Amino acid sequence: MKICVVSDSHDRAEPLAEAVRAAKAEGAEVVIHCGDLIGTQTLKPALAHGLPVHLIHGNNLGDAAALHRLERASDGQLQYHGPDAKLELGGRRIAVVHYDDLGYAMACTGQWALVCCGHSHRAEVRQVTCVTGEAIWLLNPGTVAGLSAPATWAWGDLATMRFELRDLKGSTRS
């Protein structure tokens, strides 16, 4: 299963929708949003691309009631998880938290194949050695809105556990 991971869209609908469009064109089947979406209007253009979206709220919550209403109206396309999410996608256990330090801590537990986080606006994909000695993937897609950093998102393949950082200009970062 191929995934699109975004974070920190901060009410910027156009870059979020562009990342989802690009990811769908590359075969992504689902979107994970690591928080700081803020308003539902930010999500609507991205939802128009038809991919399921898993969303947590981050530290810039916005209107939780409106997010719940949008979730109910989406016929299952949007899944709003609240402050964190524990997912099973493509046969992999995935934790989604907003704060990057909590993401690192979650990776260190060894309970997840992949931990996705945001908050810092610093795009990064790396392996963390957990308590069992295994290498666990930690992925921070940066800020899709491009606030105080380049506008970035991440593409991943859960079958091969290959992840790439992308910017909205179309280039791949390592």
User: What percent of the chain has a predicted confidence (pLDDT) above 70?
Assistant: 97
pLDDT number for residue 41: 94
pLDDT number for residue 172: 65
pLDDT tens for the chain, 174 residues long, are 999 999 999 999 999 999 999 999 999 999 999 999 999 999 999 999 999 999 999 998 888 899 999 999 999 999 999 999 999 999 999 999 999 999 999 999 999 999 999 999 999 999 999 999 999 999 999 999 999 999 999 999 999 999 999 999 866 665
pLDDT number for residue 173: 63
pLDDT number for residue 174: 55
pLDDT number for residue 171: 63
What does the alpha-carbon distance between residue 86 and residue 102 come to, in Å, rounded to a whole number? 14
Closest to 116 measured CA to CA, from 91, 144, 147, 93: 93
The enclosing domain of 89 has a CATH number of 3.60.21.10
Place of tokens 């105080």: 148
- Domain residue limits at 132: 2-173
pLDDT number for residue 19: 98
The domain tally of the chain equals 1
Place of tokens 């928080």: 35
The arrangement of strands across the sheet holding 114-116 comes to 85-89, 92-96, 114-116, 135-140, 124-129
pTM, 2 dp: 0.96
The residues near 142 (Cβ < 8 Å, ≥ 6 apart) are 7, 8, 118, 121, 122, 123, 124, 149, 150, 151, 152, 153, 165
Q: Give helix 13-25 / helix 40-47 axis angle, nearest 10°.
A: 30
Please, is 76 exposed, middle or buried when counting C-beta atoms within 10 Å of its C-beta (0-12, 13-18, 19+)?
exposed
